[in-house]
Amino acid sequence: MKPNKSILQHLNDQQKEAVVNYEGPTLIIAGAGAGKTRVLTHRIAYMLSDGISPERIMALTFTNKAADEMKERIGKMVSYNIARRLWMGTFHSIFRKILKNEAEKLGYISNFSIYDTDDSQSLIKSILKELQLYNNDRYKPKDVLSRISHAKNNLITVEAYKNNKAILENDYFKRMDQMWLIYERYQHQLKLSNAMDFDDLLLNTNILFRDFPDILTIYQHKFDYILVDEYQDTNYAQYLIIKKLSDKHKNLCVVGDDSQSIYSFRGARIENILNFKKDYPNYKLFKLEQNYRSTKTIVNAANTLIEHNKERIPKVIFSENEEGEKIEILKSLTEVEEAYVVAKIINELHNQQHIPYHEMAVLYRTNAQSRTFEDSLRRLSIPYRIYGGHSFYQRKEIKDVLAYLRLCINEYDSESLKRIINYPARGIGDTTLQKLETYAQQNFIPLWDCLCNVKQINLFTSGTINKIEEFVKLITELKTEVTTKAAFEFTEKIIEKTGIKAELEKEKNKEEIERMFNVQELLNSIKEFEENFIENYQIQPTIIDFLEHVSLLTSLDENKKEDKNESRVTLMTAHSAKGLEYDVVFIVGAEKNKFPLVNVFTIDENIEEERRLFYVAMTRARKKLFISFSEQVLRWGNIEPTKPSPFISEIDSKFLNIPYNDDNIGKVKERKIFNTSEIKPALKVEKKFVPLAEAVQKKTTSSNLFSHFKTGDVVLHERFGRGVILRIEGTDHNTRALVDFGNLGQKQLLLKYANLTLLN
């Protein structure tokens, strides 16, 4: 069978070489915007057209969206019937499939639940309460879960954790010496609930392959070819699974970009991609260096930044797109002014250059920076969305319905059981539930078994027993239809039979009515899932299939859903922006110690990752890129001077439009598309900044603490920006000032709380 040469059409020479040479270990370095997904999909399509069976190919991605898009593209090139037979999906979805097949070997039942972050934190809260550590600031559920997750990603089991002297000493030093016990009880409760968290899907796959070499051999022979997307984002657990599975045939192809490795806080190890040549000495290397996304200016500027990193695979990314405009460097006095400048530019780009709002993004280093930009966008009536907001599947009313569905599939799922045992209210209160939990913990039995034997427990009145037995009867009856009814039909019955529908229909206010619409939208999503499933697999899916799909959705899958009918500016962290692109990008808060986010303890490798993150932010832009910073920041209620990010000075200045003197403190020049007089009073302002605390200290001999302020003074307010004092009245701590903040209007401020800075 000869491969289909038409698959190679529209590929450049570098891409073609990476597609046709599919035997042996292969590293494909794909620069930003270089067509990584195109090469991966064409490589798989080429292999299929060359006679490789789809069942012999495993392709691993980091999002379900990426997997779905790749299957769609491959289906168009070869055949949808062939494409759907590929073992293609996220690490977690593929390894969940393996664990489901082999669950009994690890002591699980194949219908195990998958706990999301909320479920895990809820379980940890219960354990902390049991150990009387819940109100202890050192044991915050989020931090505890993070430490457990870190251990699992490094394949540290409970036993290994308990026997590792260095780990225990570290916990003792951090005054968290009970971590081993919390980890132990957490894993025990997961097992009792027949549940795994996301990290367990990787940890348990490693344990399966370690303890059952015959199983490993089966899967090694099952897959002749393994392909991995975004290899620079893999952690140690993922790395080891891939290495084990490819150990026999060595037909491993990994695609990624070391310059975009930005997830070390999640356990990602850049060493995995940097050391690929050590693991596979006979590897083939292909570099995809042509950027199809951005202008030449943006690509070349980004190159000059990332070249400052020492730990990198040498490459020169280039673009054959138009030259493009220089990168605009924006300087503002304060963070408030910075936000207004950015909002004003967005407004003018939209109104004068007709750039759609959805083609513009504001990127910041931390989520906390979004507030001032939200305020400014609202003032100019610019629609926006916060990327990374609350997932649809994390809403309370949706979680409630999903908890019923999960419990009907896996009755031992204690977190789902606790969530809905008294929703809608059926008279099984917190006290009753606490007694049941305590009994279950003391006797090391699942909570569901306690409910089923509530009479024998001998802790409750006959009225409470009857209510519990009614609940058990309800779930038991519903369980009988899990595999016989279609997903949509079964969920409809759950909503009706459990009383959720009646409960939601009683609600009257806007927020409560919205919950009903959200549940209706859940049903719509199930109907859509059913149609796609039938199209792909020619069989009717059950609710088990739908829950497997939902439980393995990542935050990236959820966040990247767009409402095509509503154009809005996107606000998000630079981390969230990876994989996205926009015509116009603003990198804001580009100041020293903010971006890069560093402190005196930061080591060189952290600086390199921060530089990679800035590089990722820059390469999201197709046509226009703005980098913005302010001269003063508010820290702990005090206004402090700051400096531009060192990353700005690392970019070759020939690619930048810098509207200030090279000493970084020169006078800002007026920009073409933005008149700075619109956001500050038309008064001459000298470069003399006197923080209020300092000014008050100099006036201690005055009878009025605030006598240094007078009518006509130009002042700075954290939220409202520059203003002019129109009137002062009162004395000492009752001194008030009427301040004109230009477009923001006049504000009456009590000076002891206003924390004004005198600018003249």
573 tagged catalytic: no
Amino acid, res. 122: S
CA–CA distance, 91 with 332 (Å, rounded to integer): 44
Annotate 109-126 with b (16+ C-beta within 10 A) or e (fewer).
Answer: eebbbbbbeebbbbbbeb
* Pairwise CA distance, residues 418 & 454, whole Å: 16
Q: What's phi and psi for 330, nearest 5 deg?
A: -105, 130
Determine whether 260 is an active site residue.
yes
- Eight-class DSSP state of 669: P
- Give the closest residue to 158 by CA, choosing from 173, 169, 168: 168
- Cis omega (within 30 of 0) for bond into 281: no
Q: Take residue 679 and report the two structure tokens written for it.
A: 């956001």
Q: Is 230 annotated as catalytic?
A: yes
DSSP 109: -
Task: Work out the burial of residue 583: count CB atoms within 10 Å of its CB; fewer than 13 is exposed, 13-18 middle, 19 or more buried.
Answer: middle
Catalytically annotated residue among 26, 61, 238, 260: 260
Residue pair 258/274 in contact by the 8 Å Cβ criterion: yes
* Strand partners of residue 633: 640
What secondary structure does DSSP assign to 420-442, as a single string? Answer: HTTSS--S--HHHHHHHHHHHHH
Calpha distance 444→451 (Å, rounded): 14
Q: Residues, the chain, total?
A: 760
Cα distance between residue 406 and residue 535, in whole Å: 25
E runs forming strands in 601-704: 621-630, 632-635, 638-641, 656-657
CB atoms within 10 A of CB 417: 25
Strands, E, within 150-224: which ranges? 195-197
With residue 386 as reference, give the H or E element that holds it.
strand 384-386
How many whole angstroms separate alpha carbon 657 and alpha carbon 572? Answer: 25
Instruction: Considering the candidates 16, 17, 23, 37, report the single residue annotated as catalytic.
Output: 37
Q: Is 214 labeled as catalytic in the residue annotation?
A: no
CA angle (551, 555, 561) in 5-degree steps: 100
Q: Who contacts 148 (Cβ-Cβ below 8 Å, separation ≥6)?
A: 182, 183, 186, 199
659 token code pair: 């509207």
Catalytic residue, chosen from 224, 230, 397, 411, is 230
Q: How many CA atoms lie within 13 A of 105 on its CB side?
A: 18
Tally the C-alpha atoms within 13 A of residue 348's C-alpha that lie toward its C-beta.
Answer: 11
CB atoms near residue 97 (< 10 Å): 14
CA distance 230 to 257: 7
Placement of tokens 């796609």 in the chain: 532
Instruction: Judge whether 79 and 50 are in contact, CB under 8 Å.
Output: no
Which amino acid is located at 213 in the chain?
P
Q: Which residues pair with 185 in a beta bridge?
A: none
- Rounded to whole angstroms, the maximal C-alpha distance in the chain is 97
Catalytic residue among 199, 224, 229, 335: 229
Enter the DSSP assignment of 742: G
210 is catalytic: no
| 37 in active site | yes
Task: Classify strands 582-587 and 360-364 as parallel, antiparallel or unpaired.
Answer: parallel
Task: List helix spans (H) across 193-294.
Answer: 198-211, 213-222, 236-245, 271-274, 276-279
- Identify whether the C-beta of residue 721 lies closer than 8 Å to the C-beta of residue 744: yes
Residue identified by tokens 């951005």 is 294
Strand 721-729 relative to strand 714-717, pairing? antiparallel
Beta bridge partners of 630: 332
Distance CA 96, CA 326 (A): 48
Contact between 214 and 249 under an 8 Å Cβ cutoff? The reply is no
Active-site annotation, residues = 36-37, 229-230, 260, 620
